[in-house]
Structure 1
């Protein structure tokens, strides 16, 4: 695939990082753009002219001149398949080039939003109107942080086609030297990159002057002297400041981060806009080299640090708050902070080859690219199967997975929680004849622990994690279709729709209830007939890197662990795609008692999610949660008849739902499914409140 990459600043190392990412992903890249600096470029490029930072009008005029007379070098050679435009002025040029390249897809990299686009005045509205017109002619928008979607694209109702998150991670290289052991002496703070934040300069100057010798601040990069005209004066007059000039990216990263304890990530240059939304390069560079990140509360960067459980947060944008955040730190107390950073997998901080291929495939917008990747030897899959007393199903499930595992060199790991029905014997016998199968013990007996154990033991050699439930049936091409859709969409997690299938009389009625909107409440992974981005779904395929980056499943969850993990995935910027290309058949519980217990545990799991993440219930779940408390009031109906109303409404709703199920399924006994759905709701509600009350009592006793 041929890509014409239009860059706003050829002297920005991030441009060349994206160029290399495209090349490693298999694209033939032509780079063209404007220059803002001096010296040699990092590689060949078509220079379109010169511009200056922040001069929006000047930059637009330069683009208009290029549009009027495009350089011959830009038009020579085979036509590009994709024109990738970095920032708004380059999008103007990209759309204009559609006249020369009518078949090319236009993709927009939205990596910062100019302040003129954020106002309420006539100029801002006019610029947003121009941007909207350009966006309608693009095929894809790339953002580097979820903050740009939440802070700009959604509130300003930008007409974007599709959005892909590609974070500013450096590319995976040779092994990174281990982070050095902290030296004695002052606490070392590093502020690296584009030095343009007057607030940061003043805050660090105040911090060091208030406690001479306690801190040592090292600055590396290019100061924006139009924003910080007194930069050199401030630095030279402060004995605890050292400005060591620009650095070579990525050659000097290990050296400069080896000399600091804390990486300064605060940037107030565009507070309320880009500064609040972005995830800066130095977040990933510092994390990769073991530096403790320091960020400002209320920003996307601070939210990411809290999700990862690392770093130091300055709670308010006041210089005094910086003093407060650092006042209690010393050498012994810094050590656990650094250990927390070191404990995270490298995939948290750097892009791997699979990320490069995913980007190029998404740019192309073709499923053919995905098919190539799914057949690639590098697209290795770890297939993890939690099992506990699954003798009735495990053999059939394994037989369905073996052809894929053989063809792709993937591994099938069954993590057994102590089965007593012969499950382990079946797996051992099959493993003797099939080298792709492994059997491991799962002493914790929980599904969450089983998956974590499989990834810990066997995940290093895989790109993808495929979660398989032994209590389900899968189509023959299940794995291939998941991989193809993952590559086509660039998703970090692909979830599937599931259809309940019953064999005995009661199990069939339970399946009818679970497949109905009354029983599942319209959940996307139970009802969707089209692919779309979702917040949660039935887990199927996930990038190992994403799974590890957020810490895997929370093993304290016996149920709802998938929704809890999805919450952390979304918070960390990963995207979840509900595929319409495949799905699975699920075999529900076969008795009413086991069904009620299952939904009671589901309710408890949901309550734990709410309490852990302070996340509210949606309208559907809130209505179900209210059921148990309201029905508890029914015995008081003789004293106050209105208290019987919830019970009457519930019975009538179950009856009406059952009739609807019976009519839709042409199954007269389906009327009973309405009451089974009601029983599921009641058990879920009881579990939700049992967990909520128990947590409140524990908190009270602890106090």
Structure 2
């Protein structure tokens, strides 16, 4: 019997948790595979727990684990430690996996022992018009960067994936998720995987739907935190875990310097405008392409979304540099609050 523990970190996800769990139990797995599902709940107060308890009557291997810390890395580790297993599959509460997700992950891990982690293609979903615009922007290379798991379309090795499956032995080799990292704990863990000699496989034949943030305030906070915590991960490892992470903070620094150059006159300011013109042109071209695909979209909304993704991440990253590199501070309590 092969045992897979499925860990779902969750807090106040009443809108999505039922669909997430139904998709897991609808997944196709070999007869010799037993699935245990652990919803590690951060003491939800929106009816999420009641929904899970109702589903437990239908799915006997569905369990709730309390996460009193209400933070994601604690949820990961609590779920992993909840029972003995051969494989650990992490699935976000807003992730809806395809029917072949579990079987393909299992197959890839069994085929090649050098692969320590497998994940699939992300399909952004939404519940309102703002979410639709955000989903489309996050599905582009301009929005998320070349090589980001959100924009990959071909199977191959990569540096990180979402909703990953690991053999349990990986945790015995490199430890568990870093509970100090409120954000980017999965990036940190997958970086440790590759540093230890393991490979990460992105499989385009499996997919999961992901419900993006539905308003700009939460999107800004989400990506600001991504940038902020990325610096903390870098400091822990004394290296940059990816090159693409540097582009948004460099762009924000350029914008600040560009504004400063106008103090020395229009000639100097105009001379420094070329990178901004290139950025605006690329953003306009990508935005126009999305509008042509759906004429109900508004050009200004999509254009604004790209700016929010890039500037919020860049500002968060620069704040992280100030706090962690220049001032040698601990993470801000404000940035430990999640953006749901």
Partner of residue 78 from structure 2, selected from 444, 453, 456: 453
CA-to-aligned-CA distance 1:253-292 (integer Å, 9 cap, x gap): xxxxxxxxxxxxxxxxxxxxxxxxxxxxxxxxxxxxxxxx
Matched, 1:545 2:169: yes
Matched, 1:390 2:13: yes
Which residue does 2:335 correspond to in 1?
Answer: none
Distance 2:292 2:225 in 1: 31
Distance 2:161 2:102 in 1: 17
Distance 1:699 1:540 in 2: 32
Matched, 1:636 2:260: yes
Structure 2 gaps of 5+ residues are: 331-340
The Cα of 1:390 is off from its aligned counterpart by 0.4
Matched, 1:695 2:310: no
Distance 2:30 2:286 in 1: 46
Distance 2:119 2:107 in 1: 13
Distance 2:19 2:293 in 1: 31
Q: How large is the RMSD of aligned CA atoms in angstroms?
A: 2.4
Distance 2:308 2:47 in 1: 32
Which residue does 2:334 correspond to in 1?
Answer: none
Structure 1 gaps of 5+ residues are: 1-376
Query: Could you tell me whether the CA contact under 8 Å between 1:449 and 1:555 is conserved in 2?
Result: yes
Distance 1:406 1:391 in 2: 30
Matched, 1:479 2:102: yes
Query: Could you tell me whether the CA contact under 8 Å between 2:133 and 2:297 is conserved in 1?
Result: no
Matched, 1:624 2:248: yes
Which residue does 1:683 correspond to in 2?
Answer: 312
Q: TM-score, normalised by structure 2?
A: 0.87
Partner of residue 122 from structure 2, selected from 498, 506, 517: 498
The Cα of 1:612 is off from its aligned counterpart by 1.3
Q: 1:647 to 1:533 in 2, by over 3 A?
A: closer
Q: 1:618 to 1:666 in 2, by over 3 A?
A: farther
CA-to-aligned-CA distance 1:456-475 (integer Å, 9 cap, x gap): 121x2x11001111112222
The Cα of 1:502 is off from its aligned counterpart by 2.2
The Cα of 1:579 is off from its aligned counterpart by 1.1
SS in 2 for 1:539: coil
Which residue does 2:63 correspond to in 1?
Answer: 438
SS in 2 for 1:386: strand
Matched, 1:401 2:24: yes
Query: Could you tell me whether the CA contact under 8 Å between 2:4 and 2:35 is conserved in 1?
Result: yes
Distance 1:532 1:492 in 2: 13
The Cα of 1:452 is off from its aligned counterpart by 0.6
Matched, 1:412 2:41: no
Distance 1:406 1:430 in 2: 23
Q: 1:674 to 1:612 in 2, by over 3 A?
A: same
Distance 2:288 2:144 in 1: 16
The Cα of 1:531 is off from its aligned counterpart by 1.8
Which residue does 1:421 correspond to in 2?
Answer: 46
Query: Could you tell me whether the CA contact under 8 Å between 2:221 and 2:312 is conserved in 1?
Result: yes
Mean Cα displacement is larger for which, 617-626 or 467-476? 617-626
Q: TM-score, normalised by structure 1?
A: 0.43
SS in 1 for 2:82: helix
SS in 2 for 1:391: coil
Task: Please give the residue correspondences for 1:150-161 in structure 2 after superposition, counting only pairs within 5 Å.
Answer: none
Distance 1:617 1:661 in 2: 31
The Cα of 1:427 is off from its aligned counterpart by 1.1
CA-to-aligned-CA distance 1:156-197 (integer Å, 9 cap, x gap): xxxxxxxxxxxxxxxxxxxxxxxxxxxxxxxxxxxxxxxxxx
Q: 1:548 to 1:452 in 2, by over 3 A?
A: farther
The Cα of 1:675 is off from its aligned counterpart by 2.7
The Cα of 1:496 is off from its aligned counterpart by 1.7
The Cα of 1:524 is off from its aligned counterpart by 4.4
Matched, 1:578 2:207: no
The Cα of 1:512 is off from its aligned counterpart by 0.7
CA-to-aligned-CA distance 1:658-682 (integer Å, 9 cap, x gap): 1233235566535632331121010
Matched, 1:518 2:142: yes
Which residue does 2:182 correspond to in 1?
Answer: 558
CA-to-aligned-CA distance 1:14-35 (integer Å, 9 cap, x gap): xxxxxxxxxxxxxxxxxxxxxx
Which residue does 1:612 correspond to in 2?
Answer: 236
Q: 1:480 to 1:638 in 2, by over 3 A?
A: same
CA-to-aligned-CA distance 1:407-463 (integer Å, 9 cap, x gap): 5322000000121101111112222443201101112212221111111121x2x11
Distance 1:552 1:618 in 2: 21
Which residue does 1:287 correspond to in 2?
Answer: none
The Cα of 1:499 is off from its aligned counterpart by 1.8
Distance 2:303 2:90 in 1: 31
Query: Could you tell me whether the CA contact under 8 Å between 1:485 and 1:581 is conserved in 2?
Result: no
SS in 2 for 1:469: coil
Distance 1:393 1:450 in 2: 18
Distance 1:694 1:569 in 2: 27
CA-to-aligned-CA distance 1:53-79 (integer Å, 9 cap, x gap): xxxxxxxxxxxxxxxxxxxxxxxxxxx
Distance 1:401 1:659 in 2: 37
SS in 2 for 1:457: coil
CA-to-aligned-CA distance 1:560-587 (integer Å, 9 cap, x gap): 1111101111111112111122011111
The Cα of 1:655 is off from its aligned counterpart by 2.2
Query: Could you tell me whether the CA contact under 8 Å between 1:603 and 1:686 is conserved in 2?
Result: yes
Partner of residue 292 from structure 2, selected from 656, 663, 671: 663
Matched, 1:380 2:3: yes
